[in-house]
């Protein structure tokens, strides 16, 4: 096999047919491997993008549900304190303190549940 170069072109002269076929087979194998590798990388990137979009959608939905739950629980606390105050069971100051206490207790329960979920994932 003789190698001659002219600028950027590599000229190869083979002495036998076996050498030519072997070189062609190796070249085709290399191109096939290159194509399959690129195809695999492209597929992985596409799958990653799909999974990230799905994850983002799930996170947004979870955030919406948490905000809805916290809003409903806050309304419930205020409503309970208002009803108790209207029945004369609480003064206005007691109702305000009770409302704050219930909000903080609900927040504590939420954070405790969240800490348990995080610990379970690890």
What are the residue boundaries of the structural domains of the chain, listed by start? Answer: 2-121
Residue 63, pLDDT score:
84
**Residue 61, SS3 per DSSP:** helix
* pLDDT of res. 2: 46
Give the pLDDT confidence score for residue 10 in this predicted structure: 56
Q: 95 and 66 in contact (C-beta within 8 Å)?
A: no
* pLDDT over threshold 90, residue 111: no
Q: Which residues contact 85 (CB under 8 A, 6 or more apart)?
A: 91, 92, 94, 95
Between 40 and 112, name the one with better pLDDT: 40
Q: How far apart are CA 55 and CA 76, in angstroms?
A: 31
Which pTM value belongs to this model? 0.48
**pLDDT averaged over the chain?**
82
pLDDT of residue 38 exceeding 60: yes
């Amino acid at each position: 096999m003789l190698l001659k170069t002219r600028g950027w072109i590599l000229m190869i002269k083979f002495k036998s047919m076996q050498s030519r076929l072997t070189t062609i087979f190796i070249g085709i194998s290399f191109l096939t491997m290159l194509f399959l590798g690129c195809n695999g990388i492209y597929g992985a990137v596409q799958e990653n993008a799909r999974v990230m979009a799905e994850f983002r959608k799930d996170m947004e939905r979870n955030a919406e549900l948490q905000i809805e739950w916290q809003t409903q629980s806050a309304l419930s606390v205020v409503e309970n304190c208002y009803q108790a105050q209207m029945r004369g069971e609480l003064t206005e100051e007691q109702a305000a303190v009770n409302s704050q206490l219930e909000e903080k207790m609900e927040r504590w329960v939420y954070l405790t549940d969240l800490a348990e979920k995080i610990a379970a994932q690890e």
